[in-house]
Amino acid sequence: MFRPSSALSCCNYPSCAHAVYTLPTATLSCHYCLVSEFLPTTATVVPQVSAAQAVGEYLQSPDDLVKVAAFRKELEKEKASVDARLKSYQLDAIREGLKRLLSTRNHVQVLKEEMQTIDRLCTDPQNAVSTFDRICCVAMFHWNFEQTEEMVNNFLEMNSKLDVLEEMLAADSQELVGPAPNLLHVHLQILEAF
C-alpha cells in the first residue's frame, strides 16, 4: 500500500505540522488539515519523511515509473475515502447544530407565548378578577370621599385662615405710606385658597 507523506505538501497552510496518520484501515495524510476529532484515538503518528526520500522509496527502478499511475489512483481512492469520512463528520455536526437550533427556537417560542400571556393578564385584569367592576366603583367612591373630606376640611379652616389674613392686612394698613411686609404672604394665601 502506498503511504503518502505529510512532507509532500500535505496541506496549503504553512503552519500545518501534521504528519502522516496510520489508521487500522488506511493511512491518511493531512489533505485538508484534518481536525483531531475526526481521527480515531488509535491513530499513531508516523515520522515525517522528506519528499525525495518518499519518491526514492517508491521509484527504485525504471520499471517503477509504470506503477506511478497505479499509485496515483490508489492515492485518489484514499483521498476520496478521507473526503467522504470528513463530509460525513461535517454532516453529523451540521445535523446536531440544526437540532440544537430548532430546540432553542422552540424554547424561545414557548417563552414568548408565556410572556404574552403574562402581559395580557397584567394589562387586562378584568379577565382574571370577576368582581373588577365593583373594585373600580369602590376605588372611585373612596377617591371621591377623600376629595370631599379635603374640601370640607378646607371650608372648616377657612374662617381661621381669613382671620389670620385680616390681622395681617390690618397690621399693614396702619402705615399707608410705609412698607407692607405681609402683603406678599397674604396674596400667596389667597391664591392657594382659591
Please report, in tens digits, the pLDDT of each residue of the chain (194 residues total).
444 443 444 444 444 444 444 434 444 444 444 444 444 444 455 567 777 787 777 777 777 777 778 878 888 888 888 888 888 888 888 889 999 999 999 999 999 999 998 888 777 766 667 788 888 899 999 999 999 999 999 888 888 888 888 898 888 888 778 788 888 888 888 888 76
Distance CA 150, CA 130 (A): 32
Residue 121 corresponds to which amino acid? L
pTM of the complete model: 0.31
Show me where the domains of the chain are located.
132-193
Sign of CA dihedral 21, 25, 26, 31: negative
Specify the residue for cell string 379635603: 150
Rg value, the chain, Cα: 47
